[in-house]
Structure 1
Amino acid sequence: MSVSDQTITKTLSVKEKMKVITILAFPAVIENFFQTALGFVDTFFVAHLGLIEVSAVGLTNAILAIYFAIFMAVGVGVNVLMANSIGAGKPERAAHIAQQSIILASIIGIITGIVTLLFAENLLRLMGVEEEVLSAGVLYFRIVAIPSILMSLMFVMSSILRGAGDTKSPMKVSIIANLINAVLDYVLIFGLLFIPAFGLAGAAIATVISRLVGVVLLGLYIKKNSSITFRKEDWSFDKQHQIELLNLGTPAAGERLAMRIGQIVYFGFIVKLGTNTFAAHQIAGNIEVFSYMIGYGFATAATILVGKQIGSGNREEAKSYAKLTTMITVGFMAFLGLGLFFLGEWAGKFFTTDKTVIEEIGIALKISAVFQPFLAVVLILTGAYQGANNTKYPMYLTTVGMWVVRTGLVYLLAIQFNMGIAGVWIAIGVDIAFRAVVLWIRMEKGKWISKTKDKTSPCHPKTKQPKLDDCVNNY
């Protein structure tokens, strides 16, 4: 079920637009919630095996975050290009791009799987893993990541459906796959009836099975979607579309990587503040993550809606959807900020009984609450910029924000001025506010939409043997 393309591309009242936005956003919010909640369940089961197993999974996930960034590059590319194509009334081109993204995802998934098979131990050693954790880490890493093609296809096939305006199907698949993973975790880790206990290997096998189910279900939903009609002849490798997918997606992946690497740098400063402060920072981050669920859900809607308006040539409508989605999300996240402000310490008690740590969690979340509206702006406008084919600027801005503003201020406020965890979270908030203001001003000045021309258009000068009919239809 998806919002019709005619509904999205025609001029609507503010009330009608709000309805469209929420219809697209809430399935993505629910999907994010289930992924996070069941991720806690996954960690809970593994924790019962011991600290070595928990460390093995944690280190593996740190490497998989890099894999995910690569897969996300293709996902962002296909999401945006499909939204543009459907908005422009070119469903055949959208379907062709979808097929090319599946080909690219398969190739990347196979390559990362081979890398895992050959270099799993080497990659874990680069993480500084202790010898007692290494064997468990290699076992888990290989089982989970050799079939990386499943991860890659889940990312991309979900993006294909979202690009077609269907956010409900990926939500359903995510919920089913995560529930299967949770049940299989218990059965395969600890054993049940005639099924033996596989321990950590069982957790890895459960993850792979759930991803396989996810890929099959996503394939069925794509087949049922009337906006996506695959053609047998389009399964051949199309170099131009592959490059277009990577040109759009790679900066988005680069943004995530810049953020991850920047976190590693300023985490080093936080460690110097002491174990209790670092623990408080980590716990506060785990609590705050629930606000990101809302932001990322509405950012998905912003990317789809802006992408379709850009594709249909309605730049003012694209801007209208970007602003309205931002305002709605600011409202939701400001309300959630009140919860963080007044209930932060209470939530911290679920994670620890240390009074000092609980107090520092409360300080961190009170500061976070103040900056929630700015976080909403950053998340939504990043999605809007992506929908406008502008994935490079958010990457540049995130890199500056993380490496200069955030890291610099963490060192200055937390270390030099001895402000402790308050200095850390003020630095994070200032970085978020800085990026929010820059993204908003740039949009107001009309500098947020990419001017890159479609090089795969049959009328583009670099396209071989353009057909006159194609050119007429294209313009």
Structure 2
Amino acid sequence: MNLLSLFSDKKFFKDTIKLAFPIALQNFILSSLNLFDNIIIGGLGEVAIASVGLANQMFFLLNLVLFGVVSGASIFTAQYWGKKDLKNIKRVLGICLITAIAVSSVFTIAALLFPKPIMSIFSNDPAVINMGANYLRIICLSYIVTAVSFAYAATLRSLGQVKAPMVVSIIALGINTVLNFTLVYGVAGVHGLGVYGSALGTLIARIIEFILMIFVVYKFKFPLAAKPKELLDLSMEFAKRFFKITIPVILNESFWALGVTIYSVVYAHMGTAIVASTNIVSTIDRLAMVVFLGFGNAAAIMIGQKIGQKDEKTAFLYAKRFIIMNPLLGVIVGLIIYLGAPSILFAYSVSPEVHNYSKSLLHILGIFLCIKVFNYTNVVGILRSGGDTKFCLLLDIGGMWLVGVPLVALAGLYFHMPIDKVYIFVFMEEIAKFFVGFPRIASKKWINNLVVH
């Protein structure tokens, strides 16, 4: 089959855009407003940028664990939706909510009781530790409501209902940005609260998002509008099947998050200016990835539904299309980042040192972005949609902990290399994952129907 025939299916592209665009738009707005928040905090100085960035590593860790939980749930939801099994979809949502609330409660308690020890993991700068700890005490109160919103939004997307979570998220994020600016700097003679105003604004916005999400689901009677009895109609056998697939995803995201945290620890010990520059670049990285988050999620939904319908041939065809299309788009976006780095950084009021660091890191990101996109599409969009979660676990952990983490730690802490050299080693894990993960697609071993019983 040549490329022309592979991409001649108009319905495929119509369905892809219908799913991918709202998800990409939601993530674009999220990343854009995170960028604006970053710029808002940037006006308070490099200590403020570093404090908020490192304190939010706690939420980053939680977010990735939650992503593991809802990703596992989404695998089942997409396949159950393929066979229109609403009863089991509600059960999946129920077990997803229970798990998400339990995990976020642990993170909340830890952040409330041990904010300074947590910040000390990431930095040895007393000013950063104190400011970050106070920020963490406020922002952690949003973790549980965020987990519930996340569970509903991800499950809705697996049903193909992508517009509702997008609209709710856009409203909440807009409120977040307005509140952050107002509370950080003050307005109409009211004194600003600095970084603590940002934490308070984010907390209020996430509570509003939670309320809106529940309201929309039940007001418009989406398939997820379940009674508590339906959500809790869980047998031990059902729970075992769910966690057999989901636990590898949770472990995958958790160990990956821990690895990224190790990167942050290495950066923190290289200096506050480097922490500021890596936080800036990570925000731009997330903004660049929004298109591929959309297409990756569309791939997971479309492939998962075809597997649930027992149409394995079409599922494999979709996989081939996505694994070619997404990295090609990655080359284009990477080129834009590389060439546009000076313009992208124009909005930041930072020292020349941080500016130069950030520009170098953006060049490296632009070069390696297409490989990162390939791996994201492969793991999240293709392999997981077929329930191949154990292989994904080994692939991600192997790439990060056998390649990325050792190289970055040695380069940054032992050999004391400059940040641009250290940052290149971060992407060596992506290179390793590419060579190991590519043959798995062709093998078709990842295609597993999880809802036939």
- 2:252 corresponds to which letter in structure 1? E
Equivalent residue, structure 2, for 1:385: 383
Which of the numbers 249, 258, 273 marks the counterpart of 1:252?
A: 249
8 Å contact 2:149–2:210 — kept in the other structure?
A: yes
Give the alignment partner of residue 61 of structure 2, picking from 59, 62, 66: 66
Instruction: Report the Cα distance in structure 2 between the residues aligned to 1:416 and 1:107, rounded to whole angstroms.
Output: 38
The Cα of 1:263 is off from its aligned counterpart by: 3.8
CA 1:266 to 1:216, structure 2 compared with 1: closer, same or farther past 3 Å?
Answer: closer
1:427-466 aligned at under 5 Å gives the runs: 427-450=425-448
| C-alpha distance in 1 between matches for 2:22 and 2:14 | 13
Equivalent residues, number: 444
Matches within 5 A, 1:312-323: 312-323=309-320
Report the Cα offset of residue 188 of structure 1: 2.7
Offset of 1:282 from its aligned partner?
5.7
Given the alignment, which residue of 150, 154, 163 partners 2:158? 163
Q: Which runs of 5+ in 2 are unaligned?
A: 1-6
Q: Does 1:150 align with 2:145?
A: yes
Q: Return the alpha-carbon distance in structure 2 between the equivalents of residues 308 and 49 of structure 1.
A: 48
Q: Which amino acid aligns with 1:101?
A: C
> 1:236 aligned to 2:232?
yes
**What residue identity is the alignment partner of 2:306?**
Q
Q: Do residues 204 (structure 1) and 199 (structure 2) align? A: yes
Residue 379 of structure 1 aligns to a residue whose secondary structure is helix
Give the whole-Å Cα distance in 2 for the aligned partners of 1:110 and 1:277.
Answer: 32
Q: Distance in 2 between matches of 1:43 and 1:334?
A: 26
Which residue of structure 1 aligns with residue 77 of structure 2?
Answer: 82
1:414-468 CA deviation, whole Å, 9 max, x = no partner? 99999956644554444323312322211101122357x66xxxxxxxxxxxxxx
Name the residue aligned to 2:3: none
Note the C-alpha offset of 1:272.
Answer: 8.8
2:118 corresponds to which of 99, 120, 123: 123
Can you list the C-alpha shifts for 1:210-241, whole angstroms capped at 9, x where unaligned? 11111122223322254334134224362534
Superposed CA deviations along residues 319-355 of structure 1, whole A, max 9, x for unmatched, are 2222212222223222112213333344345557877
Over 3 Å counting, the alpha-carbon distance change for 1:271 and 1:152 in structure 2 is: closer
**Matches of 2:438 and 2:425 in 1, distance apart?**
20
Aligned-pair identity in percent equals 23
The aligned residue for residue 181 of structure 1 is: 176
- Distance in 2 between the 1:176 and 1:314 partners? 38
Q: Residue 207 and residue 368 in structure 1: after superposition, are their counterparts in 2 closer, same or farther (change >3 A)?
A: closer
Quickly say closer, same or farther: Cα 1:232–1:316, change in 2 above 3 A.
same
TM-score between both structures, scaled by the size of structure 2? 0.84
Structure 2: how far apart are the matches of 1:291 and 1:94?
A: 32
1:339 paired with 2:336, answer yes
Any idea what SS the aligned residue of 2:84 has? coil
Please give the alpha-carbon distance, in whole angstroms, between the structure 2 residues aligned to 1:28 and 1:227. 19
1:99 aligns with one of 79, 94, 116: 94
SS at match of 1:166: coil
Residue 238 of structure 1 aligns to a residue whose secondary structure is: coil
The answer as to whether partners of 1:73 and 1:246 remain within 8 angstroms in 2 is no
**Distance between the aligned counterparts of 1:62 and 1:370, measured in 2?**
25
Distance 1:152 1:209 in 2: 15
Q: CA, structure 1 residues 236+410, in 2 after alignment: closer, same or farther (shift >3 Å)?
A: closer
Counterpart residue identity of residue 150, structure 2: F
List per-residue Cα deviations over 1:79-100 (Å, max 9, x = no partner): 2211111112212211222233
Alignment RMSD: 3.5
What is residue 330 of structure 1 aligned with on the other side?
A: 327
Q: Structure 1 residues 99 and 422, CA, compared in 2 at 3 Å: closer, same or farther?
A: closer
Q: Which moved more, 1:213-222 or 1:129-138?
A: 129-138
Aligned to 1:457: none
Q: Residues 145-165 of structure 1, C-alpha deviation per residue, up to 9 Å, x if partnerless?
A: 134211211211111211211
Amino acid at match of 1:64: F
Question: Which of 1 and 2 has greater Rg?
Answer: 1
Q: 1:243 to 1:154 in 2, by over 3 A?
A: farther
Contact 1:326 1:376 in 2 (8 A): no
Contact 2:386 / 2:448 at 8 angstroms: preserved in 1? yes
Q: How much has 1:59 moved relative to structure 2?
A: 2.8
1:147-206 Cα shifts (integer Å, max 9, x gaps) = 421121121111121121122222222211111011112333333348664444332221
Deviates more, 1:317-326 or 1:255-264: 255-264
After the TM superposition, which of the residue ranges 149-158 and 396-405 deviates more from structure 2? Answer: 396-405
Alignment partners' CA distance in 2, 1:237 and 1:119: 36
Structure 2 match to 1:466: none
Kindly report which structure 2 residues correspond to 1:279-428, keeping only aligned pairs within 5 A, or say none: 284-348=281-345, 350-351=347-348, 364-383=361-380, 384-407=382-405, 423-424=421-422, 426-428=424-426
Higher normalized contact order (CA 8 Å, seq sep 6+, divided by chain length): 2
**One-letter amino acid of the counterpart of residue 93, structure 1:** N
Unaligned runs of 5+ in 1: 1-11, 455-473
Greater mean alpha carbon deviation, residues 344-353 or residues 29-38:
344-353
